[in-house]
Amino acid sequence: MSSIQSRIVRYGELRPCKTAFIDAHTPGSDQKENFTIVGGGVSESPDQHVHITDKIGFNIGAAGQPPKCRNSLHSHTTAEVFFVAKGRWRFFWGRYGDAGEFIAEEGDIFNIPTGIFRGFENVGQDYGMIMSILGGDDAGGGVTWAPQVIEDAQAHGLMLGNNGVLYDSKKGEELPHNVQPMPLLSEEELKAYPEVPVSDVIGHYVARYWDLMALSSKAPAAVIGENALIKDKPGFDVDFLSRGSAMTQMVQADRPVVLMPASGHWRIVIEDVEVTLSSGDTAVVMPGESYSAAPSMTGEAGLYRITATDDPAGATWTGA
């Protein structure tokens, strides 16, 4: 198990990968940066830096993009949860990205249903950042690209092998002799990817920051979980703490916990290590370690806490 200090990653220390995905050369998507904070992530590039390699049952990552930069349509077989750390973002979904969309502001969280094509775009004025929680230790095993994304990428020199690895013809790379191109989904296979109405998405999979601030005034607000605001069992629970529900006393973790401030400054204590974290920073608490989390300054303060569960990573759970 890595040291406590090595499990604290600050926003300003994040190391981006600009070649993480198949659309890295495609105009409109070629300025995006991918960050893998905890676990292997979903990057298709050997250039991806992983900050914390401990396996905790889920992955933590981030995407940074300048204005008007978009992440192309793809699907996941395990959870993909985003909350906005910086800026304003448009999320869209469907076979061609036109089944629905909504705008997420800072602190808002979105548990994207598995098995639908989704993408996102920075619609703010400045460089923006969204933090991600991905289901399972091997989150990269469940990513599927919409056919047009693979075709566009190939036109700009990037090929995706059926081994999940990217090859860049602009660098003189070719597919190895034992690797075939990633096959495109057939029209028949595409019928299995639903076009979910906006009302379903906003009604069941989105939680707004200011609602969570109100709900957490006396106790942590359950955001994602079997009995939470967003009902799902993705292999982790998410709750939200604010000043009135801060953890001022040390508590022992019985399973991995990740602390990610959404606003304000938080004094995090893990065993004998004390740090002050703010939005974009991440701290991992391992089982058996004691920790506390409370605002270190006056003013607005919100924090997401992600806790591993025994539920297997898989398709979105709807309570059925």
Contact 250, 289 (CB under 8 A): no
Tens digits of per-residue pLDDT, 9-35? Answer: 999 999 988 876 777 677 777 788 889
Q: Residue 194: phi, psi to the nearest 5?
A: -75, 155
Q: Which long-range contacts (CB under 8 A, 24 or more apart) does 44-47 make?
A: 44/20, 44/140, 44/143, 44/160, 44/164, 44/165, 44/166, 45/17, 45/19, 45/20, 45/21, 45/166, 46/165, 47/17, 47/19, 47/20
pLDDT, residue 93, reads 97
CATH 3.40.50.2300 given to domain 211-308 = no
User: What does DSSP say about strands 236-242 and 302-308: parallel, antiparallel, or unpaired?
Assistant: antiparallel
Q: What is the pLDDT of residue 156?
A: 86
Q: For the residues 294-320, what does the mean pLDDT come to?
A: 94
Query: Closest Cα partner for 13 from 273, 294, 278?
Result: 278
User: 81-136, pLDDT tens digit by residue?
Assistant: 999 999 999 999 999 999 999 999 999 999 999 999 999 999 999 999 999 999 99
Domain chopping of the chain, boundaries: 5-173+185-204, 211-308
Residue 101, token pair as written in the block? 């969309």
β-pair type (33-38, 50-52): parallel
Q: Which H or E run includes 211?
A: helix 209-215
Annotation: CATH topology of 5-173+185-204: Jelly Rolls (2.60.120)
Confidence of residue 140 (pLDDT cuts 50, 70, 90): low
User: What's this model's pTM, rounded to 2 decimal places?
Assistant: 0.94
Q: How many residues belong to the chain?
A: 320
Counting residues of the chain whose pLDDT is more than 90, the rounded percentage is: 77
Band of pLDDT at residue 63, cut at 50, 70 and 90:
very high
pLDDT digits 0-9 by tens, 237-250: 999 999 999 999 99
Which has the closest alpha carbon to 165: 48, 301, 70, 65?
48
**Region 188-215 average pLDDT:** 96
More confident site: 168 or 198:
198
More confident residue, 258 or 138: 258
Q: Determine contact, residues 85/302, Cβ cutoff 8 Å.
A: no
Q: Residue 119: which of 140, 160, 154, 149 has the closest Cα?
A: 149
If you average pLDDT over residues 216-231, what whole number do you get?
A: 98
- What's the confidence (pLDDT) of residue 196? 95
Does the pLDDT at position 42 exceed 90? no
What number of helices (H) and strands (E) belong to the chain? 4, 25
Nearest to 223 by CA among 76, 83, 105, 87: 83
Do the Cβ atoms of 282 and 258 come closer than 8 Å? yes
How many other β-carbons are positioned within 10 Å of the β-carbon of residue 180?
Answer: 10
Q: Which tokens hold the place of 298?
A: 């006056």
SS3 54: coil
In the structure, what pLDDT confidence band is assigned to residue 157 with cuts at 50, 70 and 90? confident
Please compute the mean of the pLDDT values over residues 189-205 and round it to a whole number: 95
Residue 212 pLDDT > 80: yes
Terminal-residue alpha carbon distance, the chain: 37
Mean pLDDT (the chain, rounded): 93
Look at residue 215 and tell me whether its pLDDT is greater than 80: yes
